[in-house]
Amino acid sequence: MLLKTFGWSFAVTALGLVAAVFYGGWTGFGVVAILSVLEISLSFDNAVVNAGILKKMNAFWQKIFLTIGVLIAVFGMRLVFPVVIVAVSAKIGPIEAVRLALNDKDQYQQLVTDAHPSIAAFGGMFLLMIFLDFIFEDRDIKWLGWLERPLAKLGKVDMLSVCIALVVLLISAMTVATHAHQHGGVHVDKAQTVLISGVAGLITYLVVGGLSSYFENKLEEEEEREHEQEEAAAKSGKKVPAVVLAGKAAFFMFLYLEVLDASFSFDGVIGAFAVTNDIVLMALGLGIGAMYVRSLTVYLVRQGTLDDYVYLEHGAHYAIGALAVILLVTIQYEIHEVITGSVGVILIAWSFISSVIRNKRIAAAEGQGSSGDKAEVSSGV
């Protein structure tokens, strides 16, 4: 199971490290290894969230996610995206941007740093909306009950998450954006840029998320019909296969996953410039990390890990919220990528431990013959 799921990741790792040695010697090897670990640590929460969506898709679309999706993630976000943002921000052609990336690495880094406010605003708003929509939803299983119960009640107010996101964007534009960090340690007013980019991130979330929600609702209707069919089939001894997303429904969910992955990639791409200016080494390191994130997503789905450790999804979404805030803060202040990666790892590890404690409590209760309701067991926090 492990080799089948992570086989391609192992192969890409070996090829990537060998290519790094030929391209940049053992120094290049070390840089690529560091970038791979950086990408995995920053995107682990991405894998957890993706798994919650991917498990609703059929085997065909799961394979698409691991093939075409990987190409988009590796070549699109880790190679093409840094070139595109330089071309757009510097108002130069993509060919010139590639020339700068390969031949004038210092100038390339300067242009990417100067484009960071717009990148952070777009990605920050997209991720913030994911977190807000999650935290305002009333769920049967709650991790931090003292926080999630009152927020679930507030979530009954229509469009509350959008209003809060816009308020956060306005505050960011009037505070950190007025002294946005640029190359060389200077600070300039990027309020207009942050507002436009933030609104674009919000619109992107509403459009793509709205389409995915529409097809999720259709899936729920199919599941209700499936349940009725299972009850009828139980009498005749037949089994009804589970309903999973396919066709247009799966396509839009796949699109949602790719946009989500792109937003998660912002911090990894920007953080990579703190390690190297070399676009080739960056693509190799981040590409290896992206492969592991994809494989880890499928592993979580096939092993049913999210069903066994029910607070993992909560921890991942809290990490998303933290990352959104960090991205907005980095418009003005530099935050080391180690801090960014550690926040997500700590939150997910905490949720995992809480899930283990919950499972032990349920097992102990069952061992004592308890027949109480175990749909929601507090993690003790």
Q: Is 126 among the domain residues?
A: yes
Tell me the pLDDT tens digit for each residue of 6-62: 787 888 889 989 998 998 888 888 888 877 876 776 666 667 777 777 777 777 777
Query: How much is the pLDDT for 1?
Result: 60
Q: Is 374 among the domain residues?
A: no
Q: Is 184 among the domain residues?
A: no
Separation CA 199–CA 197 (nearest Å): 5
Provide the number of structural domains found in the chain.
Answer: 1
Q: Is 378 among the domain residues?
A: no
- pLDDT above 60 (res 268): yes
pLDDT bracket for residue 296 (50, 70, 90) = confident
Counting every residue written for the chain, the total comes to: 381
> Of 357, 327, 350, 351, which Cα lies nearest the Cα of 339?
327
Domain range enclosing 238: 2-177+189-367
pTM of the full structure:
0.70
Tell me the pLDDT tens digit for each residue of 189-199: 889 989 998 99
Query: How much is the pLDDT for 195?
Result: 93
- pLDDT above 80 (res 248): no
- pLDDT above 60 (res 80): yes
Query: How much is the pLDDT for 377?
Result: 45
The mean of the pLDDT values for the chain is 77
Separation CA 121–CA 123 (nearest Å): 6
Q: Is 372 among the domain residues?
A: no
- pLDDT above 70 (res 246): no
- The sign of the torsion formed by the CA atoms of 230, 234, 235, 237 equals positive
Q: Is 172 among the domain residues?
A: yes
Contact 129, 317 (CB under 8 A): no
The amino acid present at 108, given as its one-letter code, is Y
Query: How much is the pLDDT for 379?
Result: 47
Q: Is 228 among the domain residues?
A: yes
- pLDDT above 80 (res 228): no
* The Cα angle at residue 17 between residues 272 and 273, in degrees rounded to 5: 10
> Of 39, 57, 13, which Cα lies nearest the Cα of 256?
57
Q: Is 376 among the domain residues?
A: no
Query: How much is the pLDDT for 323?
Result: 81
Tell me the pLDDT tens digit for each residue of 121-167: 888 888 888 889 888 888 888 888 888 888 888 888 888 899 999 99
Token look-up 């093939």 returns: 67
Query: How much is the pLDDT for 88?
Result: 75
Stretch 256-266: mean pLDDT, rounded? 70
- pLDDT above 60 (res 92): yes
